[in-house]
Amino acid sequence: MFAGNHSPQFSPCPGPLGRRSFMRLGLAGFASLSLPGILRARAHAAAAAGIAKPAANRTAVIMVWQPGGCSHVDTYDPKPDIGSEYRGPFKTIATKVPGTRITELLPLQARIADKFTILRSMNQKAAGHPAGSMQLLSGDPDTRDKPKPRLPDWMSIASYFRSKQGGRDNPLPNYIGVNPVIEYNGPVYVGAAYAPFSVSGDPNLPNFEVPNIGLSDPAEASRIGGRVALRKSLDTMERAFDTLGELGALDQFEAQAVTLLTNPQTRDAFDLSKEDPKVRDRYGRNRWGQQLLLARRLAEAGVEILTSSLSGPLCGRVSNWDDHAVNHNIFDALRFRAGAYDQAVSALIEDIYARGLDKRVLVVVTGEFGRTPKIEFSPSTGAGDGSAPAGTTQPGRDHWPRAFSNIWAGGGIQTGGVIGATDKRGEDVVERACGPDDFLATIYHHLGIDSAKEAIQDFNGRPTLIVQNGRPIPELIGRT
């Protein structure tokens, strides 16, 4: 196919840019299209002014990820009237929304159920963790597990479109993973430049520090300043590169890197000690709570694409939500992690509204699939949090892509209530089935990306639609 864009004559749909057209346009030397130049100017302006508050139209998304897949029937889609082969031990409780009940594991979310919507009719087709994650996050219909994604995930695509669109006066990276969701996904042909800036480590630890951000040692910072100044005075080849427009991009990234490393304000964006201790308490003084608080803090500072994976020891023995009987006693495990989970998620949602971010920032909480409504029993493979000693027969649930729940909040969506329904056992969707493409289209819709029309060229130059067949879920976006 052609190297540049799809022409408007061949596509009714404006805008599908080649994945690296950004560079190509720059290379062409079109003054009007010299994005790197514009960005460089903006980077300077931003560096001078510190971090400005993001404009209201710079929408953002925080995706909270339950890696391994959360049991929908034990949380958001309870089936209290089903037989004991299916039913877990958790009672249901009323929520702030009359008629909507969830399980007793989530009392804090029940109290603010008017501020989010439960989508009970999500489903996809792949039962493995890799393929399931790829289905949901990239829309790849392939049901087979493969080691690497074929399509880019929505986060890198969004990061790419936002970068192409320009106009962001902010030295912070635009896509940050606070314990990022990268295990089975990635930018693929969108390019590594659109991968997340990863914040790993436990933000609840007193010595938590984000590497490559606001150096704590002022001598180091001044050394970097000195090096960059020396580099500039020795860089004598500029004119040869100006014709290619690459110089601007390089300088912009260098300037952004210097700001990140040395500007106390970028450091501040990651510094949770700047938060009111009461707020920190509200999220929970543990890894998950502080992860989500950091995500909120970054969204507030103008980061537009955020993910946070709720994994690790707070999950129990195997550090994720994959509650097969061999891994966990699912009910013990859910009980073990429910407190931190409920507190962190409810705090995030509440905080988004309390701080007036509820129009700008969309929050979605999901895993790659649900879990088998029918309980299975197998011998445990080891003792630990949420699991009995090896050999003990314990209950678990397996992978279940045919029906699961996500919750949605903020983003100006319609909240308070439930969309869709599953059958009496929670096995299949019986009302308002929504698939990964609808999930993706809804997120893109909030980000102002027209997923019905935007395409990106894959490695073969083939324009690939970012969403094949979905549309924004009308009940969420308030349109039918």
Partner 1 sequence: MVFHPTRLAALAVACIVSDACAAAETPQKLSFINDVAPVLTKASCNTGACHAKAGNGQNGFRLSLFGFEPEEDFEHIVKEDRGRRLFPAAPEHSLLLRKATNSLPHGGGLKISPDSEDYRVLLEWVRQGAPYGDAATPKVTRLEVLPANQTLRMHAEQQLRVLAHFSDGSQKDVTRHANYEPNDKNLAEVDEAGLVRTSDIPGNAAIMIRYQGKVATFSTSIPLGAAVEKTPSPSNFVDELVFANLRRLGIPPSPVCDDSTFLRRVSIDIAGHQPTMEEARAFLADKSPDKRAKLVDSLLSSPGYADYFANKWAAILRNKRLDKGTPASFAFHSWLRDGLLANKPYDVLIRELLAATGEAVSNPPVAWYNQVKTPEQQLEDVAQLFLGVRMNCAQCHHHPFERWSQNDYYALSAFFSQIGRRPTPIAGQSVIFHKRGIALGENKKTKAQVKPAGLGGPELEIPPDDDPRLRLADWMSDKANPFFAKSLVNRYWKHFFNRGLIEPEDDIRDTNPPSNPELLDALARHFKDSNYDLKAVVRTITTSAAYQLDAMPNAVNAADRQNFSHFYPKRLNAEVLLDAVDQLTGSATDFADLPAGTRAIALPDNSYNKSSYFLTVFGRPEGDSVCECERVQSSSLSQSLHLMNAPEVKAKLSKAGGRAAALAKASDDNASIAEIYAAALSRTPRESELKTALEFLGRPRSDAKGVQLDPAKTRTAAYEDLLWALINTKEFLYNH
Site for partner 1 in 141-170 (CB under 8 A): 148
CB of 473 to partner 1, least distance (A): 16
Pick 85 or 235: Cβ nearer partner 1: 235
> How distant is the alpha carbon of residue 297 from its chain centre?
15
- Give the Cα separation of 146 and 122 in Å (integer): 22
Residue 261 C-beta: closest distance to partner 1, Å: 6
Nearer to partner 1, 235 or 281 (CB): 235
Give yes or no for residue 30 binding partner 1 (CB under 8 A): yes
What is the side-by-side strand order in the sheet with 305-309? 197-199, 175-178, 305-309, 60-66, 361-367, 404-410, 116-122, 417-419
By CB under 8 A, residue 208 contacts partner 1: no
Among 63, 157, 181, 258, binds partner 1 (CB under 8 A): 258
What is the closest distance, in whole angstroms, from the C-beta atom of residue 39 to partner 1 in the complex? 11
DSSP-derived secondary structure for 324-382:
-TTT--HHHHHHHHHHHHHHHHHHHHHHHHHTT-TTTEEEEEEES-EE-SS-EEEE-S-
Q: Which residues contact 165 (CB under 8 A, 6 or more apart)?
A: none
Q: Please, which of residues 93-132 interact with partner 1 by CB under 8 A?
A: none
Site for partner 1 contains 369 (CB under 8 A) = no
Nearest distance from C-beta of residue 322 to partner 1, angstroms: 23
Quick check: 8 binds partner 1 (CB under 8 A)? yes
Asked whether position 48 contacts partner 1 by CB under 8 A, the answer is: no
* Residue 411 touches partner 1, criterion: CB under 8 A: no
Q: Which stretch binds partner 1 (CB under 8 A): 6-14, 67-75, 121-129, 177-185?
A: 6-14
Which residue, among 268, 294, 299, 266, has the nearest Cα to 280 in the 3D structure? 294
Cβ neighbourhood burial of 374 (10 Å; 0-12, 13-18, 19+): middle
Residue 250 CB, shortest distance to partner 1, in Å, is 5
Q: Is there a contact between 409 and 116 (Cβ–Cβ < 8 Å)?
A: yes
Which positions from 259 through 288 interact with partner 1, judged by CB under 8 A?
260-261
Kindly provide the b/e burial profile for residues 290-306, where b requires at least 16 CB atoms within 10 angstroms of the residue's own CB. bbbbbbbbbbbbbbbbb
Backbone angles phi, psi at 333, to 5 degrees: -65, -45
Q: Quick check: 240 binds partner 1 (CB under 8 A)? A: yes
* Residue among 91 and 227 whose Cβ is closer to partner 1: 227
* Minimum distance of partner 1 from residue 387's CB (angstroms): 30
Interaction of residue 257 with partner 1, rule CB under 8 A? yes
Can residue 236 be called a binding residue for partner 1 (CB under 8 A)? yes
Would you count residue 433 as binding partner 1 (CB under 8 A)?
no
Joined tokens for residue 48: 């001078």
Phi, psi of 35, rounded to the nearest 5 degrees: -55, -45
Closer Cβ to partner 1, 216 or 273, answer by number:
216
Nearer to partner 1, 432 or 453 (CB): 453
Of the two residues 128 and 248, which places its CB atom closer to partner 1 in the complex? Answer: 248
- How far apart are alpha carbons 9 and 384 in whole angstroms? 62
C-alpha–C-alpha distance, residues 290 and 173, integer Å: 20
3-state secondary structure of 427: coil
Pick the piece of the chain touching partner 1 (CB under 8 A) from 208-216, 284-292, 333-341, 368-376.
208-216
Select from 142, 145, 254, 268 the one that contacts partner 1 (CB under 8 A). 254
Nearest to 344 by CA among 399, 304, 385, 288: 288
